[in-house]
Amino acid sequence: MKTPITNKNTTNFANEFTFFFVMAVVLLWLKTYVVQLTQFNLGIESFIQHILLLVNPLGSSLLFLGLALLFKGRKKFIILMVIYFIMSIVLFANALYYRFFNDFITIPTLMQTQNFGNVSSSAGTLLQPVDLLFFADVVFLLGYLVLKFNRLEINTVTSKRVKRLLVTALLISGVNLAISEIDRPQLLKRGFDRNYIVKYLGVYNYTIYDAYQSTKATAQRALASSDDATEIENYTRSNHADPNPDYFGKGEGMNVIYVHMESIQNFLIDYELHGEEVTPFLNSLTNEESTFYFDNFFHQTAQGKTADAEYMVANSIYGLSQGSAFTTKGLNTYHSAPAILEQQQDYTSAVFHGNTGSFWNRDEIYKSFGYDHFYDDQYFDIEQEDLADYGLMDKPFFKQSIPYLESLPEPFYANFITVTHHFPFTMDQEEATIGKHTTGDKTVDDYFQTARYADEALEQFFHYLKESGLYDESIIVMYGDHYGISKNHNAAMREVIGKEVTPFESAGLQRTPLFIRVPGMEGEVNHEFAGQIDLLPTLLHLLGIESDEYLHFGTDIFSDEHDDIIPFRNGDFVSKDISSVEGKFYDTSTGKLLPSDQREKAVEMQKIAEQKLSLSDRVVNGDLLRFYTPDGFKEVDRTQYDYDADLQ
């Protein structure tokens, strides 16, 4: 048996690569740990969770950087640096995304390329000088490699070492997962909250998990059948809320005007700053004689934010937990509000939005919804001074929309999407009519000026409606689409609301105002717990249309049988009695943790909330409405819509 020949150069190469590899692993491990600890609000609650947060990036670093060992010679160094750079980009991108959205990037989010141009200015405001440190280690390793590269001898690392390393990496990751499952049972099965996945498994393993979930969701459509649709039908029928006879048909034959209030949160109502009401017009609507104001109405959006809100309002189906159904499910079959109203009561439908039609894939999915007209930025005279980050500012937007609105055949269903009160809440100080807040947090301080502008724009819009004669012929529904200030600004929000923003208080801040004005009815302040998912069945019943034939996951807010369990996309929920926030149950009225003797009821409510989300996801991912047609409903023909026709 021959003895392998080992020379000095081979030994130097092996030692050199081993040193470089260990250095890269340690740097990536520590960087990832520090970023996960300081940049993400993961809610570390125990010593075990902190240890897991420390250990999970080690397993990932060994495993992914270890893939470089599968290559020969100098390629190892190059491949290792490529992998290192990609992992650094993943870490940085998630940190940047988390600063505003308080969430992590998903594969479907990355597919929304048509939105990148519009969000670039917002992303720029999130950058900080400290972000250069995300890549300081990359520069260091590259510099080290450049100095050493030409003196490295070409050879291989033994397969035994490679196997040993990969087994070690898998063992660390496996033990990490096992302990995580003990601390958080069914961690991967109950994957509604991405915060938990990152807290226990780390940002890199989360990315792999997300890719798997995205692939699984894509496959669901191919595997779906009519049996799945039947199961959903049985669920929605058994959970249908019959209309309240005192409200049913009270708005029959009236026009419907929706106003989608960008980033308006409910704490703004009656809030005073510098001795002034921030939203005096909205405040006045809480006492308007024909207006119902709901002070326990919650947004239920996820990564799709604005698009999720539109999706729920039009369909009474939840948005997706990953990405946006607007961009990934635009060609699905839908039984949306525009199509239902056209077929049931001969309504004409239109959307007004002073931004590019392709943003959020609106120009495509609106065809699937059955909208007759889409007035995007092409239809508006947009001067530079009237342009906000996300399109035409609200005041000129409403003013220029009125002639188009007046030209629609009645009755009409019209949806207005506002944009000025959008992060980063920039406002020309000549337009501002109230001073900024003084918390020292720029996002929070600026928020109040754009909120005042949005309020003034809405007041002008109501004036236009009154002048046109449409005001007393229309049901007007206005709702806040999603939060404007994320959890990352809780320190400043403590000063705004006058108390610490605990997880329970943070759930309460997801309230957004809902106003429903029905001419001829006696309005009130309504305290019912409700969400965006409930708006479509509520509207249909006001118009005298039965909703039990449709697969809706919301229920009529005015119904005595209304279901007040309001799920959030992360699996939490709120209700009149019990709320679930970050795995803990609270008494909603007091904000205190629920006594142990009431936990059984809370667990059942948690299961109901998760079931709603799960069944809704099956409808969307499986495109199940193609297997089910309500009595008297005709499937929408996308080819009959041309949103550029009105320009000719």
Assess contact for 490 and 278: CB atoms under 8 A: no
Who contacts 208 (Cβ-Cβ below 8 Å, separation ≥6)? none
Is 306 an annotated catalytic residue? yes
Is residue 106 within 8 Å of residue 192, measured between CB atoms? no
In the set 106, 236, 306, 443, the catalytic residue is 306
Q: To 10 degrees, what angle do helices 203-223 and 194-201 make?
A: 130
The one-letter amino acid at 489 = H
Distance CA 440, CA 453 (A): 21
Residue with tokens 């940002």: 203
Which stretches of 469-548 are DSSP H helices?
Answer: 490-497, 503-508, 535-542
| Residue from 143, 415, 141, 389 nearest 260 by CA | 415
How many CA atoms lie less than 13 Å away from 353 in the CB half-sphere? 26
> How far is CA 249 from each of CA 427, 540, 545, rounded to the nearest angstrom?
42, 8, 7
Q: Among 279, 270, 266, 282, which residue's Cα sits nearest to residue 434?
A: 279
Written as one letter, the residue type at 578 is I
Of the candidates 248, 344, 291, the one whose C-alpha atom is nearest the C-alpha of residue 543 is 248
Q: Which long-range contacts (CB under 8 A, 24 or more apart) does 325-330 make?
A: 325/620, 326/360, 326/361, 326/362, 326/365, 327/108, 327/111, 327/112, 327/114, 327/115, 327/360, 327/361, 328/108, 328/111, 329/365, 329/620, 329/621, 329/623, 330/361, 330/364, 330/365, 330/368
CB contact at 8 A, 198 and 53: no
How distant, in Å, are the alpha carbons of 262, 279, 342, 423, 456 from that of 432?
A: 17, 13, 41, 16, 11
- Please tell me what DSSP assigns to residue 358: T
**Residue 569: closest CA among 514, 507, 631, 525:** 507
CA torsion 258-263-267-272 (nearest 10°) is: -100
CA–CA separation, 518 and 464 (whole Å): 18
The verdict on whether residue 109 carries a ligand-binding annotation is no
CB 380 within 8 A of CB 356: no
CA distance 370 to 257: 16
**422 belongs to an annotated ligand binding site:** yes
Instruction: Give DSSP secondary structure letters for 208-237.
Output: HHHHHHHHHHHHHHHH--HHHHHHHHHHHH
Task: Tell me which amino acid residue 601 is.
Answer: K
CA gap 33, 620 in Å, rounded: 36
Both tokens of 311, joined, read: 């999706």
- Asked whether the beta carbons of 362 and 393 are under 8 A apart, the reply is no
Q: Tell me the two tokens of residue 517.
A: 């004005």
Binding-site residues, please? 262, 306, 422, 481-482
Binding-site residues for Mn(2+), please? 262, 306, 481-482
Binding-site residues for substrate, please? 422
**Which positions are catalytic?**
306
